[in-house]
Structure 1
């Protein structure tokens, strides 16, 4: 089976969003595998050789940030967040769609302004030369990545997320 056929069979998204979701999930999977390997090497080194992996904690922190923010746009446009739908049957399909659109607008606006603030903090961190404690990696680049992925989440929600809300059949 070709990669294209496999992606088409396993991803419900349409058009380029399908490949974007695949790419972001691939990044998250590679980072998760790397975190597993780092943890195994760190634990084995600690217990077998009495010497842990230098910088494992920092690498884990950075890896978690990369993984989380790579998945956030995918989870958001799929509507995978926790939703309480107790009143959906009482309110009816049209009102639920309107509330869904309002929620999408609030989420995307919030993520945009949150990304703006995070990017400002990243710029300040880069200007001041802030680095991680042990490995001395520039912290500003990771913070910029978080800001960009926050904007990407906002863009995904305002476009594809709303498309999914509008095209969802009313119950």
Structure 2
């Protein structure tokens, strides 16, 4: 099966989240080694770790929202007929999309206020708004991917993915 541009975009979003996870892991590992063996620390390692962890979480939300791998309670869903399952998924996706929309809007406000307040890291005095902006891009990607998931669920249920199960919905 040929992968279209939307599928390649989804793969890029997930790869970006994976790269941020690798960077956070590397910073934490190197920071601990330097602190305990050489009694030295990377300047702003705590700030970088926490800011990059926030970015990682927001980019991870994008992949989890598209794949339907976020926390769910499937007691009713698992015994429902296929048409009701699809209706429940569409409702859940639309509700999640609305919540993510509000969250993304408020995060944009936070990015602008951090920029205007000139918030900086402690040691290196790097601007924090850049990290917030990259996190905001992850939230915006989450909205796009969830919209793609919802449209596919409505128009092409055979291409919609449910949870970690790679099988399409019925």
Common fold by TM > 0.5: yes
Give the deviation of 1:161 after TM superposition: 3.8
Structure 1 stretches of 4+ moved >6 Å = none
Can you give the 5+ residue segments of structure 2 that lack an aligned partner in the other structure? 159-167
Deviations along 1:116-167, whole A, 9 cap, x unmatched?
1110121111112111233322222222223332222122112234414633
90, 94, 104: which is aligned to 1:105? 94
Deviations along 1:13-49, whole A, 9 cap, x unmatched?
9412332232223222332222233223222222222
Distance 1:97 1:14 in 2: 24
Distance 1:99 1:92 in 2: 11
The normalised TM-score by structure 2 is 0.80
Contact 2:24–2:52 under 8 Å retained in 1: yes
126, 131, 143: which is aligned to 1:154? 143
Give the deviation of 1:83 after TM superposition: 2.0
The CA RMSD measured in Å over matched residues stands at: 2.3
Distance 1:51 1:169 in 2: 53
User: Superposed, which structure 2 residues align to 1:59-74 within 5 Å?
Assistant: 59-74=48-63
Contact 1:125–1:139 under 8 Å retained in 2: yes
Q: Which moved more, 1:67-76 or 1:88-97?
A: 88-97
Can you give the 5+ residue segments of structure 1 that lack an aligned partner in the other structure? 1-7
Q: Which residue of 2 aligns with 1:3?
A: none
Distance 1:63 1:145 in 2: 9
Higher relative contact order (CA 8 A, sep 6+): 2
Contact 1:104–1:157 under 8 Å retained in 2: yes
Distance 1:82 1:162 in 2: 21
SS at match of 1:70: helix
Aligned residues: 159
* Cα 1:73/1:14, change in 2 over 3 Å: farther
77, 102, 110: which is aligned to 1:88? 77
